[in-house]
Structure 1
Amino acid sequence: MSGQYLSISCLPLPTYVQGGHIIFNPGERHPNRNYFQFFVMMFMLRGKLYIAEDEQKYTVCPGDMFILQPKHHHYSWKAMDETTEYYWIHFAVTGDYIQTKEPKHIKSVINVPSLHYYTPDVTLFLNKHTKIPDSDAIFSTIKKIFSSSKTQNTVGFWQAQQLFIDLLQHVQIQNPAKSSTSILATKIQRYLRDHYDEKITNEKLGKIFHVHPNSVVLSMKKRFGLTPNLFLTKYRLEEAVKRLLSTSAQISKIATDVGYQNVYYFSMAFKKHYGISPSQYRERYISLNQTIDKNSKGNHLS
């Protein structure tokens, strides 16, 4: 086997495009293709497929699963020497992916909020070349995918997509353990979200999580691209915006509620981030709402 892994971002999810069943006779070759736009997933039934991706040669045997990357050069490095049969599936991804010797976490191309909602980076890990796990279940799912897609209607399309996701769950490998740095950063992030209205320093975080303050900063920057202080500032200001727009509380009260003991420092931080003062932000929102309401009533009367 190749000892290589495909790591694919699953936000958005991979999409089933088409699939089929093929038999090659001795002497025939797999098509020579450059920059084919889809992943090609193969499930070998019999014979041997001598396939290359760019300069790397592979021999795919009965009971093997093998995956070709999109937009690479695929060709036979040797003709079939016996009758060769396999199922094939083409699928597409709009997220990022990478092929490496070790599984890698891939960030989503969708901007998932990290300040108020924690959605883990969902990465699909696949062996490029491996033995088919639970072949009976997998072949049964493949046949159902083909059957659904042949109906050529909306119901069949969605059934095929759902079955394809089931197939990926069958063949994916276990999520590799997160690094200690990533685990630490996640814990710190959650603590900051739960205690944003308190006074928090790197030293305090270091004591809470039993690490050096420098490790606190480095882990957050590596995992979230923000220092703890910057993460805390952004979170506090977003909480302040919620209160400005949904309550009539005084600015000084909002400042205290989100962790600022000094209202002037809060106002400076707010203006630096949003470009206007907290009171101007609230007034702009109220004015905008009044304009929308006025236009809505005018349209209704007309």
Structure 2
Amino acid sequence: MTLKNEVNSLKEELIVALQTPPLPYYWESGRSTFRIGDRHPNRRNFGLFDVLLVVDGELHIGENGTEWTLGIGDALLLLPEGEHYSFRPCEQKTTFYWVHFEHVDWHQSPLIEESEVVNPLSPFDKPKLIRIPKKSTLLSPQLAFDLMQQLLELPVGDAFWEKQQLLFRFLAMLENGISDIAKTPASRLAEKVAVFIQQHYQEEITNETLSSALHFHPSYIVRCMKMKYGVTPVQYLLQFRIERAKQLLVSTEWSIDRIAAEVGFQYAPYFSTCFKRGVGISPLQFRKKYLN
């Protein structure tokens, strides 16, 4: 499959991206069992995210005109605004877990959108997104069922931190579930390139170096990195070196010359030029912002 085909194949998949900070906030959870003929309640502008996780049977849920039939191990994330409704009563006994949480900064988008965005500054400056698939089928649903049961066994109105931690673990499970969709061969290769660069950033790295180490054509490596991170491998290397230099500037008393050499620059003046171009101030000015 070509890179273009990989991108096009993801266009119809949806994610809900939660900007952090802040982190999602747990409200409540439960386990419901519907008999034949029962329906999920209809709601409008509920105000909270509602995750449904089917344990047994089938649940027929719609949101803003889109409808899903959820089976065992299927999870659906309903949005805090709009209309949620049942478009068909249960045709068999159906059991599902639900969890409500709050988050104030989010958007829904095609899954591929995040890999198409080109950050003009640095992939390391990009705010963290928790990317939850709109609808997913868990590969190991029993792990999610056990986690939801742990939530239910905690006392109502107490165990705040335990509930928050279990919510984060559940959302991480859902987010990891999109890896088989989002991590196309091109995305996986880009991640391997990033790991290689981070492990060898002190060395001289070129596109030919990466091609030899990872056994892919240099132009394909460049295309994959630009799709995943919005930068070429060389730009990624430079920006990673700058990020590492920032850490050393505020955590050590090393000279600028030593830090430049430590992060892979042969010449300190060139390091200072690159640092100022990327950060907006010189290394010395950056250090003075944080150290007395």
TM-score range, shorter chain: 0.5 to 0.7
Deviation at 1:66? 6.0
Q: Which structure would you say has the larger Rg?
A: 1
Letter in 2 for 1:34: R
What are the Cα deviations for residues 238-264 of structure 1, in whole angstroms up to 9, with x where unaligned? 44455555235363x544443333444
TM-score by length of 2: 0.62
The whole-number CA distance in structure 1 between the counterparts of 2:69 and 2:282 is 66
The whole-number CA distance in structure 2 between the counterparts of 1:145 and 1:93 is 19
The whole-number CA distance in structure 2 between the counterparts of 1:45 and 1:248 is 57
The equivalent position to 2:200 in structure 1, one of 191, 195, 208, is: 195
The whole-number CA distance in structure 1 between the counterparts of 2:150 and 2:217 is 54
Query: Which residue does 1:217 correspond to in 2?
Result: 222
Conserved in 2, the CA contact under 8 Å of 1:126 and 1:173? no
Q: What SS class does the counterpart of residue 89 from structure 1 fall into?
A: strand
Letter in 1 for 2:207: N
Deviation at 1:176? 0.9
The equivalent position to 1:205 in structure 2, one of 210, 233, 248, is: 210
Q: How does 1:269-280 map to 2 (within 5 A)?
A: 269-278=274-283
The equivalent position to 2:180 in structure 1, one of 141, 155, 176, is: 176
Query: Which residue does 1:226 correspond to in 2?
Result: 231
Deviation at 1:202? 2.0
Conserved in 1, the CA contact under 8 Å of 2:17 and 2:108? no
Deviation at 1:121? 7.6
Whether 1:249 and 2:255 are equivalent positions in the alignment is yes
Query: Which residue does 1:293 correspond to in 2?
Result: none
Letter in 1 for 2:83: H
Deviation at 1:222? 1.8
Task: Please provide the CA RMSD for this pair.
Answer: 4.9
Deviation at 1:58? 5.2
TM-score by length of 1: 0.60
Query: Which residue does 2:154 correspond to in 1?
Result: 148
Whether 1:90 and 2:94 are equivalent positions in the alignment is no
Gaps in structure 2 of 5+ consecutive residues: 1-11, 116-121
Query: Which residue does 2:28 correspond to in 1?
Result: 18
Bigger relative contact order, structure 1 or 2, given CA contacts below 8 A and separation 6+? 2
The whole-number CA distance in structure 2 between the counterparts of 1:254 and 1:87 is 52
